[in-house]
């Protein structure tokens, strides 16, 4: 069943990619291709390096969390996990395939299932906090500087993006720290399953899940007890996102134009784009991210240059990670 779903997701991704390429290239194919062919390769290399820095920094955040429980887990193992995660994130809607793989990877590193789950949830929480913080900076900056013209549709999409990301943080905090709430939901679920005769020994199952929840919350408290480590992981994610968000400016320079917008504007604009793309229910946010990119960066550049940079940006920030992740998954482990 899982293999079938993966195949469907890949086919969906291929279909959406073809559609995006068609609409991106149909109006000015030769000019867009000309822009891409004649870019400065050195700037393109820097763009790829920014993605690698993004992986390195996010791996460092995971490594900080894991070392709270198992000192022998190396940074190299966290980096391997982060790179391989790119493939699962790329082929699943809302990037939901990455976290189960990360839990599996940590278990193979000798960390218990409850602790591994707690680590990945905490890691996702700090990433969401960093992402929402960048979004807040973007909104405040736009209010002060008036970077983008008013658009009711884009405003609604940004508001929706904020609400969804904030809800995700709240739900994750409840899952991570509200022991009573979790037990209520689990007990209710087990009662329903017992009535449906899907659970035979109700008391045994309740005991097992109560123990799991207790262990899970103990791990969560341990992670949160070190405030400096928690702050360090948020900082790692903020710098990682800044690297990722700077890529459109690097690609702009690759076309020979470094003045249409500056680095700060690129970071602010990318934060807006990611807020829109984060709730698009397609693998890699396909369709939504391209729309957001063209809508916001279209304020500064237009025509073939805009479409060329958008296509390069999608390859560097999305398809590159998916390809490298797939290669890493198929390589023999050297652990």
pLDDT tens for 226-259 read: 788 888 999 999 999 999 999 999 999 999 999 9
Structural contact between residues 215 and 209, judged by C-beta atoms closer than 8 angstroms = no
Low-confidence ranges of the chain (pLDDT < 70): 1-29, 71, 94-95, 151-153, 175-177, 179, 198-199, 209-210, 212-220, 222-224, 279-285, 332-335
Residue 322 counted as domain residue: yes
Residue 226 counted as domain residue: yes
pLDDT at 215: 65
Residue 39 counted as domain residue: yes
Residue 173 counted as domain residue: yes
pLDDT at 216: 66
Structural contact between residues 91 and 9, judged by C-beta atoms closer than 8 angstroms = yes
pLDDT at 99: 82
Residue 229 counted as domain residue: yes
Q: What token pair was written down for 13?
A: 């991704």
Residue 335 counted as domain residue: no
Residue 52 counted as domain residue: yes
Structural contact between residues 157 and 276, judged by C-beta atoms closer than 8 angstroms = yes
Structural contact between residues 69 and 115, judged by C-beta atoms closer than 8 angstroms = yes
Q: Where are the alpha helices (DSSP H) in 278-330?
A: 288-297, 303-314, 320-330
What is the distance between the alpha carbons of residues 281 and 296, in angstroms, rounded to a whole number? 20
What is the distance between the alpha carbons of residues 324 and 327, in angstroms, rounded to a whole number? 5
Structural contact between residues 233 and 29, judged by C-beta atoms closer than 8 angstroms = no
Q: Look up the domain containing 268 and give its range.
A: 2-330
Residue 67 counted as domain residue: yes
Q: What is the mean pLDDT of the chain?
A: 81
pLDDT at 12: 59
Tell me: the pLDDT tens digits for 72-118? 788 999 999 999 999 888 877 766 778 888 888 999 888 888 788 88
pLDDT at 2: 47
Q: What token pair was written down for 301?
A: 């550049």
How many structural domains compose the chain? 1
């Amino acid at each position: 069943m899982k293999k079938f779903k993966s195949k469907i997701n890949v086919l969906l991704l291929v279909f959406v990619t073809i559609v995006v390429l068609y609409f991106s290239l149909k109006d000015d194919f030769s000019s867009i291709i000309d822009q891409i062919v004649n870019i400065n390769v050195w700037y393109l290399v820097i763009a790829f390096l920014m993605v690698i820095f993004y992986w390195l920094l996010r791996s460092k955040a995971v490594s900080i969390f894991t070392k709270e429980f198992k000192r022998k887990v190396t940074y190299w193992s966290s980096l391997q996990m982060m790179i391989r995660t790119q493939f699962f994130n790329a082929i699943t809607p809302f990037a939901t395939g990455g976290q189960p793989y990360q839990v599996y990877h940590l278990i193979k590193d000798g960390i218990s299932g409850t602790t591994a789950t707690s680590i990945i949830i905490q890691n996702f929480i700090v990433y969401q906090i960093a992402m929402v913080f960048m979004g807040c900076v973007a909104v405040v900056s736009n209010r002060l500087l008036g970077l983008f013209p008013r658009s009711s549709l884009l405003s609604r999409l940004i508001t929706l993006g904020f609400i969804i990301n904030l809800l995700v943080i709240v739900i994750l905090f409840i899952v991570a720290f509200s022991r009573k709430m979790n037990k209520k939901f689990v007990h209710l679920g087990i009662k329903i399953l017992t009535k449906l005769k899907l659970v035979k020994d109700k008391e045994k199952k309740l005991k097992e899940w109560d123990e799991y929840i207790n262990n899970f919350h103990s791990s969560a408290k341990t992670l949160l007890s070190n405030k400096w480590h928690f702050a360090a992981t948020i900082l790692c994610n903020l710098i990682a996102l800044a690297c990722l968000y700077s890529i459109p400016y690097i690609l702009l320079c690759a076309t020979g134009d470094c003045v249409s917008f500056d680095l700060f504007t690129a970071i602010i604009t990318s934060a807006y784009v990611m807020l829109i793309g984060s709730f698009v229910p397609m693998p890699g946010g396909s369709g939504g991210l391209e729309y957001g990119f063209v809508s916001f960066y279209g304020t500064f550049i237009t025509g073939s240059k805009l479409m060329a940079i958008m296509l390069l940006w999608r390859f560097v920030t999305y398809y590159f990670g998916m390809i490298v992740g797939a290669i890493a998954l198929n390589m023999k482990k050297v652990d």
